[in-house]
Amino acid sequence: MKRSGLIAMTALTVLPLVTIGLAVLFVLPDVIPLHAGAGGVDRIGSKLDAFGIAPFLVGFGALATVAYARMDRLAARYDSDAHSGRALLLFALALMNVWQLIFLVWMTFGTK
């Protein structure tokens, strides 16, 4: 296991809390869209409601980080390649953070 990869996984796990916190403090308006249907935004809420998804993102990140740390044992057990598994987990966490940024941008400009 590479230590730099584990540090990157930990950083990507904590990043959703940091980005939501910074967005709530500096970027998001007081009223944000929370859900959009076929007719447009159908549910709005306070900017603090942006923290609603954070526990799920951090929980998934923590599970992915644990799997990353144990990838050598998992690869040996299932006769697989540890490097590919690590790359997939790192990509999944990075993609999760990109989607979170997209939703934060939508929350910023969605009700205007």
Strand-pair partners of 87: none
* Residue 53 near residue 104, CB atoms below 8 Å: no
Whole-model pTM: value is 0.85
Q: Alpha carbon of 47 to those of 60, 85, 90, 105: distances in Å?
A: 23, 36, 29, 13
Q: Which pLDDT does position 81 carry in this prediction?
A: 87
CA distance 69 to 54: 22
112: pLDDT strictly greater than 80: no
The pair phi, psi for residue 49, each rounded to 5°, is -70, -10
Q: Which pLDDT does position 36 carry in this prediction?
A: 87
Task: Please state, for a pLDDT cut of 90, what percent of the chain lies above it.
Answer: 71
Nearest-Å Rg of the Cα atoms of the chain is 17
Chain segment 9-37, per-residue pLDDT in tens: 999 999 999 999 999 999 999 999 988 88
Q: Alpha carbon of 102 to those of 8, 13, 55, 63, 110: distances in Å?
A: 21, 17, 18, 23, 11
8: pLDDT strictly greater than 70: yes
CA distance 108 to 112: 9
Chain segment 72-86, per-residue pLDDT in tens: 898 899 888 888 999
Q: Which pLDDT does position 37 carry in this prediction?
A: 86
